[in-house]
Amino acid sequence: MKFNVTLLLLFTISILNAQVSSKEAKKWRADLQDLKQQLTERHVNLFHTVSKDSFELAVAHLDEKIPTLNQAQILVRFAQLVAMIGDGHTSFYPGNQKKKWFRFYPIKLWTFSDGIYVIATAKEQKDLLGKRLIQIDNTPIQDAVSSICSTIGADNDMEYTYAVPFELPRPELLHALGIAKSSDHAEFVFEGDVRTTFLAIDLKEWQAVEWVCANSLYEGASPPSMRVDFLFATNLTLKHVKNKEYYWFEYLKEEQALYFQYNVCWDQNNRPTFSEVTKELFQFMDNNPVERLIIDVRQNSGGEPNTAQSLINRLAKRTKFTEEGRLFVLVGRRTYSAALTNAVHLRSQANARIVGEYSRGKPNSPSEGRDIDLKSTKIWLTVSTQFVERDPTLGDADYLPVDIKVAHTFKSFQAAQDLDLQAALNAELLKPKDLNIEMKN
């Protein structure tokens, strides 16, 4: 998905009646200048994607427009401005600001290879489960997606694939971008001309919703949590997800495969350290027939990359795995930051074969996001403070290369199938350079 963020930012969206007061406008304009200064001073290379002239023109345009906008519109314009920087660790979340939260529509969406589908919704609207979204009010879904992308800081297009479904049910965002006619309600149109008008609810009401999930593992009941790892749980992972385990492994006896899931790049309190668990893993490998090791970082969005370095170093010395293509790393759109660092190093240092879909992080990119707090309006954002070069041989590649690509469909989600794991289990034991397979369901 390619579009000109600068033009989207400068395009004048419809102005609502509830404009900010002159006093509030003064605060927003002051923080806009503070934002510009802090980004300039703290970002490792602010103009790596957008030109200085384009950025300053956008700042000046927003400064001029602030008195004519309402709070939601201003927040969205701030997000568009920050998104112009062009990296995922420099981000502004317009709907999740302190005491300025946007409301919600009671629906959970996800982007699959065959469209954007309802994966969870309120119990009273369970008939919407599995419906493909095609329109919001009069806006076709692809136009809505493009508009929302203008507010998202991204390393590559997979960030949009990941983030847009979280933003589609936010009433104020849809209205401020001109996608929906109102910030209080919107008509969602699904395939087959199924139409539902949702009413906006606040965070407390959203948290009280009795959800149902399309994942057949829950048999139409509510998941224990609405976190993504619960929504996408399988028979193999559910018990560990319920126990909130950051890292764990299980032996798949029939396949003689060791599956190791690594979800957070930190040692976990009140549990064995990562190093202790990986020591157990290697002991198991030494005492049992293990034909392949599968490391899963699909649910891992980062932390401290050095947490896993000892694992990578030890695997690099296991020539049976490194030379015969027996080491697999499952990655996906949530694999990010420190987890991406680990995946890159497993590939470059231990010859791991990468399986799944592309990550939303670039292999070499501005990173190490740090918060910026703006005092007058009490809003916040993150800024990239260092450039992280994970693998010099990948240069300016947008994505970590994937050796075995897997297309995820809604039907595979509904059936609680793990296509990535199956692809790794079914792959021939060849060197990574000899393998380039695309799996489809």
Q: What is the mean pLDDT of residues 344-360?
A: 97
* pLDDT level of residue 319 (50, 70, 90 thresholds): confident
Q: Give residue 5's pLDDT.
A: 45
Q: Does position 16 have pLDDT exceeding 70, yes or no? A: no
The pLDDT score that the predictor gives to residue 221 is: 86
Is 225-362+398-439 a CATH 1.20.120.80 domain?
Answer: no
d(CA 291, CA 255): 8
Mean pLDDT of 286-296: 96
Instruction: Output 18 or 288, whichever has higher pLDDT.
Output: 288
Q: Does residue 1 surpass a pLDDT of 80? A: no
DSSP per-residue letters across 36-92: HHHHHHHSSSTTSSS-HHHHHHHHHHHHHHGGGS-HHHHHHHHHHHHHTT--TTSB-
The whole-number average pLDDT for the span 437-441 is 41
Amino acid in the structure at residue 35: L
Residue 429 pLDDT = 84
The phi and psi torsions of 183 (rounded to 5 degrees) equal -95, 0
Q: What's the mean pLDDT when you consider all of the chain? A: 93
Percent of the chain with pLDDT strictly greater than 90 = 90
- How does pLDDT run across 160-203, given as a tens digit for each residue? 999 999 999 999 999 999 999 999 999 999 999 999 999 999 99
What mean pLDDT is predicted for residues 232-251? 96
pLDDT (0 to 100) of residue 431: 52
Is 107-213 CATH 1.10.10?
Answer: no
The number of residues in the chain equals: 441
56-104: pLDDT as tens digits: 999 999 999 999 999 999 999 999 999 999 999 999 999 999 889 999 9
Mean pLDDT of 361-371: 96
Helix (H) or strand (E) holding 24: helix 22-42
Residues contacting 140, CB < 8 A, separation 6+: 134
Checking if the pLDDT of 286 tops 80, the result is yes
- pTM equals 0.92
pLDDT at 174: 98
Per the model's pLDDT, the better-predicted residue between 429 and 234 turns out to be 234
